[in-house]
Structure 1
């Protein structure tokens, strides 16, 4: 927050000069006003959309999954208590053992809010039911049967207050800086532009980092689809080589594999994964178990990794 809002403001107000406002072009000033308004409008609308997507849309999708999602029975094999989300609930991490939609055995990690811990519903050995979107189009794709979503209206209120705050700063800046020359004081270094630009910059960096980590760790929508819709088989490892990419000082390894799918077709694929340095002596094996999509055998993951997704 400091580098987005505070630092640009400090730099601007310690270096600004209003001596040449009369010489500045009115057309350029109008361009900066339009640019500034567009930047903040995009930021505010994008933020509102994300809040809406992860609240109202997610709750609507959960209701859809309760009615139309495929039902899967699962046994709880591990329970870990996490920090409580609310006073009356317990936040738990479950490890579940189940059969996927193709009948293959899988393990799935899931975090839940237990609103009635006194009923002891989530203990090792007990069974729960999941609802799964077989097409993986309705986020969050997998929900516990009987779960319901709550809308955090405070986020909407805070975002509306943020919008009013930006509008108030427009009024403040114009009142204190126009000196009778309208918006000619507005420059690329003004916080009305530079702060918006910093938001775009940091949002872009965070997006690229998350996309890079998701692509290289395998934890994404595609891997969940393979876990719950995939078929297990053995694949022959043809070649193992390093890619030159490291994440947290752990190397990424490329596996060239070949296997025969359900139709009898021989498939040749490349799977990349991050391998801890202490496990590098285990990568050179003749065969490895994989999961692949029957409808799209080019999408596959190692069975040893699929349970962590």
Structure 2
């Protein structure tokens, strides 16, 4: 998974940075006269500055601001978190790291959420003291729930340590510096090469100053879509940690026709009563493995969780 992310990241990066410049230099002849009027050229210049300003702000926010906010949130949970006792119902060793004597493990925890609804949650992390066998199946550990459900993380281990990965932060600083240096160099090089005392009137939409920015924006949107839609479902996690449970009557179950990694998406239409006694009809879509398709219930009742402030938002916590 990590290799594929790096590969596609490098592949898309190639089409964002060197590719637009290479195509432009090979296909465009050096113009010694203005290509646009003064108004159009300054429109293109302003558009390019907006593009690159957004890109730089996006990476600074993603690489630094969000990290510092998450650290502050963890500190807040350590001080004001709601304690829960969690039972470890499954343990799996993913990798042993001899250099640091750490285990990369995946565990499944069972504990009451903010509404005292018993939930199960899977987490993956590095165990720095594997010899103590603290996370073996059947053991109990202390966790702290985040009382502010609008912020991540939604819970932490009670003895969790907070700190920055020094090498990771250095790499982020280097990347951000290279990005800013690339943008400044892009403007400086092409202005010196093509302005001919006419200012920015050499700019066109396909010019690398603009087109490289457009491709980088597409790169950002693609990665946001991939990580946001397929790797993490924030809305469902929010319902899991702060929602209430209910027994729902199945109205209908059907395939939507959408396949995710060749696995079908199933649409459930259910009716249920919330804790106030009000009845609701809601729809939930879930990707189901082909191997488990036969075990999907078609009628009867099913356990759901719902957002008490908006009962139309539901999830089915148990897998098939």
Q: TM-score band (shorter)?
A: 0.7 to 0.9
The equivalent residue for 2:33 is: 21
Contact 2:35 2:202 in 1 (8 A): no
Residue aligned with 1:49, SS: helix
Unpaired runs of 5+ residues, structure 2, are 1-12
Match of 1:111 among 100, 103, 124: 124
Aligned to 2:194: 177
Question: Does 1:158 find its partner at 2:175?
Answer: yes
Matched, 1:291 2:305: yes
Q: CA deviation at 1:85?
A: 8.1
* DSSP 3-state at the match of 2:209: helix
Moved more, 1-10 or 24-33: 24-33
Deviations 1:113-136 (A, max 9, x none): 333434443333332222112341
Contact 2:34 2:202 in 1 (8 A): no
Mapped partners of 2:55, 2:293: distance in 1: 44
Counterpart Cα distance in 2 of 1:100 and 1:141 = 10
For residues 35 and 234 of structure 2, what CA distance do their matches in structure 1 show?
A: 55
Post-superposition offset of 1:198: 0.3
- Distance in 1 (CA, whole Å) between partners of 2:95 and 2:47 is 44
CA distance in 2, matches of 1:280, 1:125: 30
Distance 1:85 1:298, change over 3 A: farther
- Off by >6 Å, runs of 4+ in structure 1: none
1:57 Cα deviation (Å)? 0.6
Q: Which stretches in structure 1 are left out of the alignment for 5+ residues?
A: none
Q: Is it true that 1:93 corresponds to 2:106 in the alignment? A: yes
Deviations 1:256-291 (A, max 9, x none): 222233233333222222233343333323221222
1:136–1:221 Cα contact (<8 Å) kept = no
SS in 2 for 1:304: coil
TM-score by length of 2: 0.82
Instruction: Quote the Cα distance in structure 1 between the aligned partners of 2:121 and 2:192.
Output: 58
| Count of equivalent residues | 302
Aligned equivalents of 1:295, 1:32: Cα separation in 2: 46
Deviations 1:196-231 (A, max 9, x none): 0101122223334555547xxxx5233223323333
Shift of 1:84: 6.5
Question: What is the aligned partner in structure 1 of residue 209 from structure 2?
Answer: 192
C-alpha contact 2:35 2:203 (8 A) present in aligned 1: no
Q: Distance in 2 between matches of 1:49 and 1:251?
A: 35
User: CA 1:39/1:262 → structure 2, altered by over 3 Å: closer, same or farther?
Assistant: closer
In the alignment, does 2:55 pair up with 1:43? yes
Contact 1:290 1:302 in 2 (8 A): yes
Pick from 227, 235, 243 the counterpart of residue 240 of structure 2.
227
SS at 1:245's partner residue?
A: strand
- How far apart in 1 are the matches of 2:54 and 2:262? 37
Specify the alignment match of 2:137 in structure 1: 124
Return closer, same or farther for 1:38/1:244 CA change in 2, 3 Å cut-off.
same
